[in-house]
Amino acid sequence: MTLKEFHAEIKDCQKCSLGRSRTNLVFGAGNEKADILFVGEAPGYYEDQRGEPFVGAAGKLLTELLTKIGLKRSDVYIANILKCRPPENRDPSREEVEACTPHLLKQIEIIKPKVVCTLGNSATQTILDKRVPITKVKAKATQVKDFLVFPLYHPAAALHQGWMRGPLEEDFQKLKEFLASEVKPKPLLKEAEQLDLF
């Protein structure tokens, strides 16, 4: 299956109540053969209006961070745990996350990226399926199911808390080093395994 075919399959999704309040379903955007798949939490106002992920200020910072490691937006794929915006940008409910996460897992299966970079606590905890603070796991590769996860601070957090900008830039450099290394995903594991590569 291609991303286009999968998009056609879920474009009218009503698996949770957000299907009724969204303006546009925000499927994801970027390179279908990307080595990196970035995952945020959920679309915000502008994403909902345009049907594209990371189009606001946080998206601009993400583009800048990519440029610093020699990448363009068109080199990577960007998606969210939720495809539809929670009203007033409230936190997603557990039911919404459970309903929508299979869509993201299908995208990962289709793209087969070298690494899935979760952005922020919420996306990281959802994909790791552990209530672990991002400060403990950021910029470390972790095996989950049959793919590798490399958590990072969310660019929006770095916009609101200036001190995060430096560490986020450093972690993008670690991501670049990680991608240049020859680490290959391991076969399916039952539990998330911390590899502590750096």
Give the footprint of ligand SF4 on this chain (CB under 6 A).
10, 13-16, 18-19, 25, 82-84, 96, 99-100, 103
Strand ranges across the sheet with 193-194:
29-30, 77-80, 36-40, 115-118, 147-149, 142-144, 193-194
Closest distance to ligand SF4 from the beta carbon of 137 (Å) = 25
Nearer to ligand SF4, 48 or 171 (CB): 48
Closest distance to ligand SF4 from the beta carbon of 82 (Å) = 5
Nearer to ligand SF4, 19 or 167 (CB): 19
What are residue 11's phi and psi, to 5 degrees? -60, -25
**Are 143 and 185 in contact, with CB atoms under 8 Å apart?**
yes
Nearer to ligand SF4, 15 or 130 (CB): 15
How far apart, in whole angstroms, are the C-alpha atoms of residue 164 and residue 189?
A: 32
How far apart, in whole angstroms, are the C-alpha atoms of residue 148 and residue 150?
A: 7
Which among 22, 18, 28, 36 is positioned nearest to 52, based on CA atoms?
Answer: 28
The helix/strand/coil state of 65 is helix
Nearer to ligand SF4, 42 or 117 (CB): 42
CA torsion sign, 189 to 92 to 132 to 156?
positive
Closest distance to ligand SF4 from the beta carbon of 170 (Å) = 33
Closest distance to ligand SF4 from the beta carbon of 18 (Å) = 4
Closest distance to ligand SF4 from the beta carbon of 81 (Å) = 9
Closest distance to ligand SF4 from the beta carbon of 28 (Å) = 11
Alpha helices per DSSP H over the chain:
3-10, 18-21, 45-50, 57-68, 94-111, 120-128, 134-137, 155-160, 165-180
